[in-house]
Amino acid sequence: MAYSVVHVDEIEGAGPGGAVRFVRRELGVQAFGINWYELPPNAKGHEHDEARSGQEEVSLVVRGGGHWRIDGDEVPVHAGSFVRFDPEATRCPVAGPEGMTFVSVGARRGAYEPRGPF
């Protein structure tokens, strides 16, 4: 089949409290990682880096807000915020009082080959 479709409600939650939905697995994506995260109000997510995998990541906040702790800095975010992380950066999402839902996409640096004028 030339495409795959899934709705986030069809993906079973995993991890602590069911906070992560493994979108990549459900769609069969092989070029990059993509996951959906839902943190309850004032919850702290998983602190980590991607130094071993070499993945550069981008997270998009789709609902709520809070901040990301990135190498000791607190970076405020809200719905519509994009945050890019170097693989070596230690990051941890922290939800605000309304919780935070975000999508993270990652791939190894250099995997993307720009084409065209855009």
Q: Is 2 contained in some domain?
A: no
Predicted pLDDT at 28: 95
Predicted pLDDT at 116: 83
Predicted pLDDT at 71: 97
Q: Is 48 contained in some domain?
A: yes
Q: Is 117 contained in some domain?
A: no
Please report, for the domain that includes residue 78, its CATH number. Answer: 2.60.120.10
Q: Is 77 contained in some domain?
A: yes
Residues in CB range of 98: below 8 A, 6 or more apart: 41, 63, 64, 65
pTM to 2 decimals?
0.93
Question: Number of structural domains, the chain?
Answer: 1
Which residues share a beta bridge with 39?
Answer: 100
Q: Is 113 contained in some domain?
A: no
Q: Is 115 contained in some domain?
A: no
Predicted pLDDT at 110: 86
Residues in CB range of 92: below 8 A, 6 or more apart: 44, 45, 46, 47, 48, 68, 69
Q: Which domain holds residue 69?
A: 8-108
Predicted pLDDT at 17: 87
Q: Give Cα 78 to chain centroid, integer Å.
A: 14
Q: Is 55 contained in some domain?
A: yes
- The average pLDDT across 76-104 equals 98
